Amino acid sequence: MFRPILIWSLAILFYLYEFFVAMIPATISVNVIHDMHLSAQQFAMSGSAYFFTYSLMQIPVGILYDRYGVRLFLTIACGICSIGLFGFSAANSFLSCAISRMLIGFGASFGFISLLILALNWFPQKHFAFLAGFGQMLGTAGPLLAGAPIVYLMQRMQNDWRQIFFYVALFGILQTLLIALFVRTRPNNSREVKEAAPLFQNLRQLLRIPQIWLTMFYAGTVYVSLPLLGAFWGPLYLQTRGFSKASSAFLISMIWIGLAIGSPLLGKLSDQFQRRKPYLLGAALLGALASLALLYLPTQNKPLFALLFFLLGVASGGQCLSFANVTDNAPEELQGIAVGANNSMIGLFGALFPLLMTIYTRGHFEIGFLLMPIAYGMAFLITLTGIRETFCRPQPALYDFNAKDLA
């Protein structure tokens, strides 16, 4: 098992890395806005440049991995991500900031799907939901490192965030070399190129399966609290509620700890009891209740806030189960495109929702953050009325698109 674990560990390391670099700007948002003379809208748009690029690349990434394997394109992606980080460390305007974040998003877009494809290829599929959740658990070390440790490091380095990004980019170069040397797509790697149908034929076949796009929409809605709070506006919102910068970073870290625990836990329970739907429903309901409590409980109690952020992270772990659900419903030859399309929806929602939050007052934040319970409520209704139970088994490849498929 050494070789599969080594290969999968390198994929997890890159996923941790791309998660880390996606979340740092939220922690140092005040410094970046000040040093680059950005408005709040420009800062949000530069962040969305990352998520839009990430989202748009997901289906192409799945196709490239399906056809040519993981090794070549994951190596290229890690290199491009590092170049973007070097660019961000030197950026001095909105345009250079947005372009560098687009490059980072392009490279990062290859991360999570590589983890899923390598899990499918190197380990038994019956453990896929747990492995996807476990990989996400380890990957959440990235956002945790991007929180309180970065605040501490900024204090030690006189708020020199540019130097931090420069060293992070250097680490990316080292990762690029390790991926090129050790990662292989499958146990028998002699044939990297696979014959495949044309892109639009594959997409048409995939989108004729209602369960695929219903699950994709669930994934996007159940995930929205993570970019809203973790990648964009969480620290500023908490500071408007009277928390210090250090306390805000700690509280934001709790959402990632919740994701780290919730993702493998939901995956393990789903695999063990051979059910998907109850856990999809439970995650959505938990997110709706926790987000409403976060917004409207009249308290400054730090332990209670920590618990609510933790529960939001657990609820967001439902998107990890969505990947297992799409692979249950997708034909084997389309699984790479399916997980890419699912991740694309997550990235798209992550790019669109934060753009609605461009102000600093507590009252306006709370109005905007109503998007969170609304999104979780939509996820609950989608699962309750549309998503079928797969019993953790492969489903028929195609369904006719008619009313009974949504029952």
pLDDT of residue 402: 43
Rounded Cα distance, 96 and 273, in Å: 50
For residue 375, count other CB atoms closer than 10 A to its CB: 23
pLDDT of residue 363: 63
Domain span holding position 39: 2-184+199-406
pLDDT of residue 290: 95
- With H, G, I as helix, E, B as strand and everything else as coil, classify residue 214: helix
Backbone angles phi, psi at 145, to 5 degrees: -70, -25
Looking at residue 391, the DSSP 8-state letter turns out to be T
For residue 135, count other CB atoms closer than 10 A to its CB: 25
Give buried/exposed letters for 16-45 (b at 16+ CB in 10 A, else e).
bbbbbbbbbbbbbbeebbeebebeeebbbb
Domain tally, the chain: 1
Which residue type, as a one-letter code, is found at position 139? G
The three state secondary structure string of 308-371 is HHHHHHHHHCHHHHHHHHHHHHCCHHHHHHHHHHHHHHHHHHHHHHHHHCCCCCHHHHHHHCCH
29 in any annotated domain: yes
pLDDT of residue 340: 83
279 in any annotated domain: yes
175 in any annotated domain: yes
pLDDT of residue 335: 80
191 in any annotated domain: no
CA distances from 105 to 88, 92, 99, 162, 383 (A): 12, 19, 10, 18, 30
Q: What is the CATH number of the domain that holds 90?
A: 1.20.1250.20
Tell the residue number behind the tokens 């170049």, with chain if given: 83
380 in any annotated domain: yes
16 in any annotated domain: yes
Both tokens of 357, joined, read 């939050």
Both tokens of 247, joined, read 């306390």
194 in any annotated domain: no
69 in any annotated domain: yes
Ramachandran bin of 395, using left for φ above 0, alpha for ψ from -120 to 50, beta for the remaining angles: beta
pLDDT of residue 123: 86
Whole-prediction pTM: 0.76
Chunked into runs of 10 residues, the chain (407 residues) has average pLDDT values of: 88 92 84 86 85 86 82 94 95 92 94 88 82 83 84 87 93 96 77 53 81 94 87 80 84 89 89 93 96 85 93 92 91 81 86 69 72 94 95 69 40
